[in-house]
């Protein structure tokens, strides 16, 4: 028989109601008041919130960077996600220059094969369109975009930063955006003016400014704001929907809102770290320890946090993700001692996203529980073309369900986390509100009450989710 979750409060993006939820097999069979027990396994959710499992649309598992590889593979990364209540990830396949998107797709599918423990999908990062084909009159890469959409990859990532490695020029970006518009695909953009930033970086290194602190100072919020405006303007010209990833500061937010007010199909996420960490608090320029917080875009001045929270509440920002890209402090961040350019960029966060968003968002009165659900699950599913399968507690959808205990106290620490790093960005922080039980397609995969943090499912049970091209929900 099924699993019947009784006496809980079901929270959607718009309302909270006392409802029972019946799971049959991998799907939600019924959501109603007073569902009969009929021999089902009854789970008493008294006092708990019943929410859709979290969806983190920005992670980098098993990703090569500067001669090393991010510390979480698909097994530890997805298990850490589940421990924190997240049941679906979208990671990035990175096309390298001179190679095809198909190759990148195959490489990333191989990384996850037999390892992913919750469901996942991929964005395709486009770095090269290859040569033209005389017969078809179009570059190879543009045709490959069609193939990728057919594979269920309905979002393409474009980098305006990292010249010579990932950055593409405006012309190439515009071509991809035109093609994306024709395919109803979504363009995800890392918006920073990489060329200008590289000039500042070189000047700082020449002046002997090599500590982690200078990584943050070398990447001005203005460089991000300029690129944010440019990305949205180009997408608007091309008729494409655009999603700005990891928007970190008020200047960029102003650019986003301006273009939204002009009718551009523009969406954006921010990440947990920008909401609660700052240059002043985490990287004042005093020690090598600050390498733990070297990621891109960098931490900003603390005053930027309030406008980001306001934008999460009022809808200018649609999603909170993590940009989870973990590197160990002892032997990986170490690669950049004496030269901040060589510090692997990224931090561990996938496990703590919901805890941080709840504690500093809902508990602090900045967002409602319904908005929490919208930002963490419902909007990501809608924007990224999987709302018929994920992101809501509704009949027929995958039974990715989170039983959330609003009173549970939890202390974040590297000593107890599932992520494979030797540090936490939130070490020792006490939060209130945590996942009690987590179901992935109807299977109880985490029970933080009985066996805290332990992954109860089989390794490799996670499935690749094909996503529809729906132009970020604007279609």
- Residue 20 binds to Zn ion (criterion: CB under 5 A): no
Residue nearest to Zn ion (CB): 323
Minimum CB separation from Zn ion for residue 6, in Å?
40
Q: Exposed, middle or buried by CB within 10 Å (0-12, 13-18, 19+), for 43? A: buried
Identify which of residues 58 and 392 has a Cβ nearer to Zn ion in the complex: 58
Least separation in angstroms between residue 296's CB and Zn ion is 8
Q: Are 348 and 72 in contact (CB under 8 A)?
A: yes
Site string (271-310) toward Zn ion, x via CB under 5 A: ----------------------------------------
What is the side-by-side strand order in the sheet with 20-24? 27-32, 20-24, 3-6, 41-44
Sheet strands (E) in 148-263:
155-159, 186-190, 241-244
For residue 151, give every residue at least 6 positions away whose Cβ sits within 8 Å of its Cβ, in sequence order, or none: 105, 466
User: In the complex with Zn ion, which residue's Cβ is closer, 323 or 443?
Assistant: 323
Q: How far apart are the first and last CA of the chain?
A: 39
Q: Which residues contact 169 (CB under 8 A, 6 or more apart)?
A: none
Q: In terms of CB distance, is 125 or 435 closer to Zn ion? A: 125
Using the rule CB under 5 A, give the single segment among 33-41, 159-167, 321-329, 406-414 that binds Zn ion. Answer: 321-329
Inter-axis angle of helices 250-261 and 221-238, nearest 10: 20
Stretch that binds Zn ion, among 9-17, 195-203, 302-310, 315-323 (CB under 5 A): 315-323
* Among 63-71, 222-230, 319-327, 370-378, the segment contacting Zn ion (CB under 5 A): 319-327
Report the nearest approach of Zn ion to the CB of residue 72 (Å): 13
Contacts with Zn ion: how many residues (CB under 5 A)?
A: 1
Residues in a beta bridge with 450: none
Dihedral class, residue 47 (left if φ above 0, else alpha if ψ from -120 to 50, else beta): left
C-beta of residue 85 within 8 angstroms of C-beta of residue 54: yes
Shortest reach from residue 224's CB to Zn ion, in Å:
14
Binding segment for Zn ion (CB under 5 A), chosen from 11-19, 71-79, 254-262, 323-331, is 323-331
Closest to Zn ion by CB, 324 vs 437, is 324
- Residue 263 gets the label, from left (phi > 0), alpha (psi -120 to 50) or beta, of left
DSSP H or E stretch at residue 409: strand 401-411
- CB closer to Zn ion, 269 vs 323: 323
Span near Zn ion by CB under 5 A; candidates 102-110, 322-330, 335-343, 354-362: 322-330
Residues 6+ apart with CB under 8 A from 331: none
What's the DSSP call for residue 398?
B
Q: Which is nearer to Zn ion, 94 or 354 (CB)?
A: 94
Contact set for Zn ion, span 387-446 (CB under 5 A): none
Q: How far is the CB of 160 from Zn ion (least distance, A)?
A: 13
Is it true that the peptide bond before 68 is cis, omega within 30 degrees of 0?
Answer: no
- Give whichever of 393 and 419 is closer to Zn ion, judged by the CB atom: 419
Shortest reach from residue 323's CB to Zn ion, in Å: 4
The least distance separating Zn ion from the CB of residue 269, rounded to whole angstroms, comes to 10
Q: How far is the CB of 132 from Zn ion (least distance, A)?
A: 30
Q: Name 221's Cβ contacts closer than 8 Å, sequence gap at least 6.
A: 248, 249, 250, 251, 252, 300, 304
The yes or no reply on residue 323 touching Zn ion (CB under 5 A) is: yes
Q: Is 56 in the site for Zn ion (CB under 5 A)?
A: no
Nearer to Zn ion, 123 or 229 (CB): 123
CB-nearer residue toward Zn ion: 244 or 399:
244
Closest CA to 344 of 206, 219, 215: 215
Residues that bind Zn ion (CB under 5 A): 323
């Amino acid at each position: 028989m099924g699993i019947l979750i009784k006496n809980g409060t079901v929270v959607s993006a718009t309302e909270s109601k006392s409802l029972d939820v019946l799971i049959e097999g991998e799907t939600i069979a019924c959501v109603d008041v007073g569902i009969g027990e009929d021999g089902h396994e009854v789970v008493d959710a008294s006092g708990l919130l019943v929410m859709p499992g979290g969806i983190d649309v920005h992670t980098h598992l098993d990703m090569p960077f500067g001669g090393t590889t991010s510390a979480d593979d698909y097994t530890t990364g997805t298990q850490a996600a589940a421990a924190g209540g997240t049941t679906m990830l979208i990671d990035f396949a990175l096309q390298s220059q001179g190679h095809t998107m198909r190759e990148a797709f195959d490489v990333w599918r191989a990384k996850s094969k037999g390892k992913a423990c919750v469901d996942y999908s991929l964005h395709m990062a486009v770095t090269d369109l290859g040569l033209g084909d005389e017969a078809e009159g179009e570059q190879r890469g543009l045709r490959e975009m069609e193939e990728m959409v057919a594979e269920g990859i309905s979002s393409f990532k474009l980098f305006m930063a990292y010249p010579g490695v990932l950055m593409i020029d405006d012309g190439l970006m515009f071509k991809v955006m035109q093609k994306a518009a024709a395919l109803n695909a979504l363009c995800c953009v890392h918006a920073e003016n990489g060329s200008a930033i590289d000039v500042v970086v070189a000047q700082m290194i020449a002046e002997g400014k090599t500590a982690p602190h200078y990584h943050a100072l070398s990447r001005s919020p203005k460089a991000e704001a300029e690129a944010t405006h440019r990305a949205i303007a180009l997408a608007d010209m091309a008729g494409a929907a655009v999603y700005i990833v990891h928007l970190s500061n008020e200047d960029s937010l102003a650019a986003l809102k301006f273009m939204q007010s002009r009718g551009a199909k523009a969406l954006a996420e921010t990440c947990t770290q920008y909401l609660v960490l700052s240059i002043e608090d985490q990287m004042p320029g005093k020690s090598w320890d600050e390498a733990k917080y070297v990621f891109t875009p960098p931490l900003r001045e603390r005053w930027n946090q309030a406008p980001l929270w306001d934008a999460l509440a009022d809808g200018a920002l649609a999603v909170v993700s993590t940009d989870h890209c973990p590197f160990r402090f002892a032997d990986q961040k170490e690669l950049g001692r004496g030269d901040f350019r060589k510090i692997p960029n990224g931090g561990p966060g996938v496990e703590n996203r919901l805890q941080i968003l709840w504690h500093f968002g809902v508990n602090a009165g900045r967002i409602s529980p319904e908005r929490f659900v919208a930002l963490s699950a419902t909007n990501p599913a809608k924007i990224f073309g999987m709302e018929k399968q994920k992101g809501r507690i509704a009949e027929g959808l995958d039974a990715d369900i989170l039983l959330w205990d609003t009173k549970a106290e939890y202390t974040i620490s590297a000593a107890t986390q599932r992520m494979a790093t030797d540090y936490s960005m939130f070490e020792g922080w006490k939060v209130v509100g945590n996942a009690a039980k987590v179901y992935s397609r109807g299977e109880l995969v985490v029970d933080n009450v009985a066996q805290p943090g332990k992954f109860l499912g089989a390794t490799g049970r996670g499935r690749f989710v094909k996503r529809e091209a729906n132009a970020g929900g604007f279609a």
